[in-house]
Amino acid sequence: MAIEEWLRTGADGVTRCWWCGDDPLYTHYHDAEWGRTVTNDTRLFEKFCLEGFQSGLSWLTILRKREHFRAAFDGFDIERVAAYGSADVERLLGDAGIVRHRGKIQSTINNAQRAIELIEVAGSINDHVRLFTPDAPHRLADSATGIPPLSPASTALSKDLKRRGWSFVGPTTLYAFMQAMGLVNDHLDGCFARAECEGI
């Protein structure tokens, strides 16, 4: 497929990556968030968690529930989530506004505890994950989407976090995290946001 086939020009005349379609919430996420550098540990932790919840689902499903997730998980405050107990798990399992999956809820609590340990060692989540930023352009276009599902860097970060006891942090999940948080720029050539995200 030619790169042009992975692009989409919306009714507003703006050319974007194909994956956000025409949904206003999704196009706003593509335009204003995806690929833009995030350094705040709370937001990085939130993204780890939401990418875990997204496993097996579409990101748009999670995006539509994101504000409810934030309310249910105390804004993804790491210290608060790390202190959750069994009553919180049951509360969350009864909350129809989120994805009610016991394993993913328990993973979020576990990962908050592991995040505290990581911050104690590395200084911040941001400082640690930036160690895995590729030094050079690395994108190898996937024939189906124009964007790869994982990378050597996401595989290395996955192995590192699993070794530290994190869960729901496979290499594909972490590549999505890296794309969204600006560790890599996978806006396609021809997408208006590619140049805006280059080097930021």
More confident of the two residues 57 and 135:
57
More confident of the two residues 112 and 145:
112
User: What span, in angstroms and rounded, lies between the C-alpha atoms of 190 and 114?
Assistant: 39
- 117 catalytic, yes or no? no
Q: What is the DSSP string of 160-188?
A: HHHHTT--S--HHHHHHHHHHTTSS--PP
pTM of the shown model: 0.91
pLDDT in tens, 65-105: 999 999 999 999 999 999 999 999 999 999 999 999 999 99
Query: So what's the pLDDT on residue 151?
Result: 87
- 166 catalytic, yes or no? no
Q: What is the mean pLDDT of residues 114-134?
A: 96
Check: CB of residue 3 under 8 Å from CB of residue 143. no
* Whether pLDDT at 136 is above 60: no
Assign 198 to helix, strand or coil: coil
- 26 catalytic, yes or no? no
More confident of the two residues 134 and 116:
116
pLDDT above 90 coverage of the chain, percent: 78
Out of 6, 26, 51, 84, pick the active-site residue: 51
Out of 18, 19, 29, 196, pick the active-site residue: 29
* Whether pLDDT at 198 is above 90: no
Out of 6, 26, 34, 59, pick the active-site residue: 59
